Amino acid sequence: MNEMAHQVVIPADVGSYTVAEAARLLGTPPLNIRRWLGGYTYRRDGELRKVPPLWSSQLSMIEEHLELGFRDLIELRFVKAFVDAGVGLLAVRNCLNFARACLADERPFSTQRFKTDGRTIFLQSTEGSEDPKLLDLRRRQYVFHTVFEKSFKDLDIEEGAVARWRPYDSKASILIDPRRSFGRPIAAESGIPTAVLARAVTSEESVERVAQLFEVKPATVRDAMKFEERLQAA
């Protein structure tokens, strides 16, 4: 078979992240991402049971390994935020399915309408359930305020969906935009990947020298360096 037949063209505006890259950006173990987007199996009472993925990746056409798009990354960010706030994965899945039906979007958490109506959607998704964990959500509404306040403040929305993420303490200097550099973290003004700036600082041993070489502000170089250090420590 022609080698070209195996090549997959990734749309330029989708972004592309390996599990390891997404895990560093989200600050979660790679295993969580593989379970959430790849599904998993477990054995109970001698019976093998299969748990399906929460949804199919935007880049599911890549069969050799799990690859994520930008919207997948943002959706997973919300999943992690809810789980970290004490919401069980069953409740997250229940809400996701309900929101998907309500909003007619495969990735509803990263939409303008979820930002507006998410609290109502999440609570409505628990109605009719007898699961104590789901019902307990109705008594812990502070969870929604915490998750929404933290998650949406550094996201830019355009045409009804999340378009960009400012991942370094919401600062405008560092940006993740699926339409630029395939979604890699970049210095917002210049478009230079933060990893490139950070490596240059290591090589040149001078923030000011790197700023001159790449024609960017020294403050941007420092932000890129600190951001990359944070990723490496994750």
- pLDDT block averages, 10 residues each, the chain of length 234: 51 89 96 94 85 92 85 96 86 90 94 89 73 58 75 94 96 96 96 97 95 96 97 86
Pairing of strands 40-44, 47-51: antiparallel
pLDDT, residue 7, reads 59
What does the block give as tokens for 50? 């299969």
| DSSP conformation letters of 127-157 | TT---HHHHHGGG-THHHHHHHHHHHTTEEE
CA 72/CA 68 separation, integer angstroms: 6
Residue 230 domain-assigned?
yes
Residue-range definition of the domain harbouring residue 226 = 166-234
CB atoms inside a 10 Å sphere around CB 127? 10
Let me know the angle formed at the C-alpha of 106 by 104 and 111, rounded to the nearest 5 degrees: 75
Let me know the angle formed at the C-alpha of 115 by 112 and 120, rounded to the nearest 5 degrees: 125
| DSSP conformation letters of 66-106 | -EE-HHHHHHHHHHHHHHHTT--HHHHHHHHHHHHHHHT-S
Residue 126 domain-assigned?
no
CA 2/CA 9 separation, integer angstroms: 16
Residue 65 domain-assigned?
no
AA identity, residue 187 = A
What does the block give as tokens for 10? 């990734």
Closest CA to 57 of 74, 44, 43: 74
Task: Name the domain count of the chain.
Answer: 1
CB atoms inside a 10 Å sphere around CB 221? 28
Residue 174 domain-assigned?
yes
| pTM assigned to the model | 0.88
43 within 8 A of 51, measured Cβ to Cβ: no
Residue 189 domain-assigned?
yes
pLDDT, residue 135, reads 53
CA 219/CA 130 separation, integer angstroms: 53
pLDDT, residue 64, reads 75
pLDDT, residue 140, reads 62
Let me know the angle formed at the C-alpha of 71 by 67 and 74, rounded to the nearest 5 degrees: 100
Residue 232 domain-assigned?
yes
φ, ψ (nearest 5 deg) of residue 137: -60, -30
Residue 160 domain-assigned?
no
CA 207/CA 221 separation, integer angstroms: 6
Residue 32 domain-assigned?
no
The helix (H) or strand (E) run that includes residue 187 is strand 186-187
